[in-house]
Amino acid sequence: MKIINFTIPEKIGKSIHIKEDKLPYFYPHLHRHVEIQITWVLSGEGTIVIGNNMKPFQPGDLFVIGANQPHLFKSNPCYFEPDSRKKIHALNIFFNPEGFISQLLRFPEMYSIKKFIKSSNYGIQASEKDAPKLFEHFLKVINNEEGFMMAYFIEMLQTMANLTEWKYFSTESFEYLFTDIEGLKMNDILRYTMDHYKEEISLEQISAVAHLAPQSFCRYFKKHSAKTYTNFLNELRINEACKRLMEKNFVSIEKIKKEPDYFGVLYKKYFNEIYNYVYSKVREQSSASDVTQQVFLKAFNNICGSTSSNTFGLLVIPAASTASSIVNPF
C-alpha cells in the first residue's frame, strides 16, 4: 500500500463536488488528492491524522484539509468488529484551488479567502464555538444548485476566513508530494502504530515494518513527519488517554466550561487512573508522569480553549500534592 492518490469524480458543469459518506467505518488508508476537502462529521469517532499530527474526532467536528495533504480518518476499533452495527456519517465538500476559484482569487476583495485557502495546507479544525456557525453555511451549499450554490460557497469561505480560532494540525505545510515508495513506508508505519499502540513497540519492530535499519528509520521518520517516532507514538497514546478522560464525566466537563477552577477536582480524581494507564504503555515512571501531565493539559485546552494553558498550571499544582503519591501498578 501507499499514500493513495484519489481522483475526486467531477460532475459536468460543477466546480465543487459534494459527497456524503454513510459507511461501516471511514476509509482506513492514508491518502491525498489535489482538492481541498471540507468535512463535517455527523456520526463516528476515532483518530484523524493530517500531515504530521493527529487528534481524536467526534460528531460535530469540522475539518479543512489542504490540497495534497496526506490524511486519514481512523475509526475506533469497535467499528471494525465483525458484529458491529456502528456506522459513520460525514458530509464533504471538495474543490480544486487551482481550478475555478484561482480566477476569483485574483480580485483584491478575495484576499482574506486566498489567505485562508493557503492556511488549509496545515490542516485546520473549527473551534467548538465556531463550528455551529459553519454548519449553517455548509447546509446552504449542499442544498442549493447552480449559481446559488456558488454564491453560498463563497459566502462560507468568507465566513471561514473571518474566524480567528482555527486549530492547526501540522507544524509544516505539506504542499510537497511523497513519492510512491515514501508513501508506502509512511502508510505502513501509521497503520501498524495505530493498530498496536496499546502494546510495547520496539524500534526494531517498527523499523522492520518500514523495511529499514533502525538508524535509517529514525532519520526517515523525522524527515517526513518533523518529529521523532517516540513523540508520535506518545501523541497517539495521549490522544487515547485524553479520550478516556473526557468520557469519564460529562457533567464535570460541562461544569469546567462554566467554572475552570473545577478542573483541579477532575485532576485529583483521575490522575492516578490515567497515570496507570499511560505507565502500562510506556513502562517508565518519568515518561509516564510527563505524558499524563500532557493528557490533562490537552483535555483542559479542549474544554476551556488553547489560550488557557497558563491557568492550567495554577489549577493543577495544588491538586498535584494530593495526586502525587503515584504507586507503580506493576
- Report angle CA 107, 164, 142 to the nearest 5 degrees: 65
The Cα-based distances of 99 to 10, 20, 104, 117 in angstroms read: 12, 22, 10, 13
**Whose CA is closest to 27, among 10, 8, 53?**
8
Radius of gyration of the chain (CA): 21
Q: Looking at residue 318, what is its pLDDT?
A: 44
Q: Domains along the chain?
A: 4-168 (2.60.120.280), 235-323 (no CATH)
Q: Looking at residue 12, what is its pLDDT?
A: 53
Ranges of the chain with pLDDT below 70? 1-13, 171-181, 183, 243-258, 281-282, 302-330
Query: What contacts 139, CB < 8 A, 6 or more positions away?
Result: none
Q: Looking at residue 329, what is its pLDDT?
A: 34
Mean pLDDT computed over every residue of the chain:
79
> How confident is the model over 288-330, as pLDDT tens digits?
787 777 777 777 776 666 545 455 554 454 444 444 444 333 3
Amino acid identity, position 219: R
Q: Looking at residue 35, what is its pLDDT?
A: 92
Contact 308, 260 (CB under 8 A): yes
The Cα-based distances of 119 to 82, 105, 268 in angstroms read: 40, 14, 38
Q: Looking at residue 328, what is its pLDDT?
A: 39
Q: Is the whole model's pTM more than 0.75, yes or no?
A: no
**Whose CA is closest to 64, among 88, 44, 25, 35?**
35
